[in-house]
Structure 1
Amino acid sequence: MSRMVKDFIEIADHASLDELIERLTAVRDSLPAEAGAQLRLQGCDVFGRSLSIAYFRPQTAEEAECEARYADAYRRSRERDLERLQEELGVVCKPPRRGGQLRAVA
């Protein structure tokens, strides 16, 4: 798949520093090379704390299929939002050129 998806791993159960290091090492070794993983401590003293690892992974075929089903509806909703915003601002946008970006023209 060509698209990367953000995913999360929660690490809540660790009794010692050695166990935590082993678990983090195992997670790191299992992640894709382009994961760009980030580690965060989440929570508070009342509800507890956990470690959360956010990383990017390739999109699965099932996720791509689901996204493709809704891509056209999403594009149309964004176009309606843009048209409504243009009407509110009194701005007219030219259609994007091939390979170019949409620009607002007053």
Structure 2
Amino acid sequence: MSRLVKDFIHIKDHTSLDALIENLVAARESLPEGSGAEVKMRGDDVFGRQICISYFRAQTAEEAECDARYANAYKESRQRELDRLQAELGVSSGAGRSRRLRVAG
């Protein structure tokens, strides 16, 4: 599983072009292969400017374990909410055919 991770590089008011290029090259070299990195300029003269580099990386074992712990609880909560909404709308299974919705996955 992949997760979108955003890394921020702040541009100082008086950064030289060479320093900026060095920072961008270092950031590019540290990215995982096939990360699909994107670069965006954000900010303004009042709050400052920054370059935002976002990329995909593999999920860590710790993140995967955490997601696995909560995945079933999340699915059950979504099913309870769906059941509540269907009851509120009067959607029920008819004779021989089911019109109820269910949570996928």
Structures share fold, TM-score greater than 0.5: yes
Q: Check if 1:71 corresponds to 2:71.
A: yes
For 1:40 and 1:89, locate their aligned partners in 2 and report how far apart those are by CA, in whole Å. 44
Instruction: Choose 51-60 or 37-46, whichever is displaced more.
Output: 37-46
Match of 1:32 in 2: 32
Match of 1:5 in 2: 3
Q: How many residue pairs were aligned?
A: 96
For 2:66 and 2:102, locate their aligned partners in 1 and report how far apart those are by CA, in whole Å. 28
For 2:16 and 2:65, locate their aligned partners in 1 and report how far apart those are by CA, in whole Å. 42
Match of 1:80 in 2: 80
Match of 1:54 in 2: 54
TM-score, length-normalised on structure 2? 0.76
Instruction: Choose 56-65 or 35-44, whichever is displaced more.
Output: 35-44
For 1:69 and 1:79, locate their aligned partners in 2 and report how far apart those are by CA, in whole Å. 17
* Bigger Rg, structure 1 or 2: 2
For 1:53 and 1:62, locate their aligned partners in 2 and report how far apart those are by CA, in whole Å. 24
* Structure 1 residue identity aligned to 2:85: L
Q: SS at the partner of 1:43?
A: strand
TM-superposed CA distance for 1:94, in Å, is 5.9
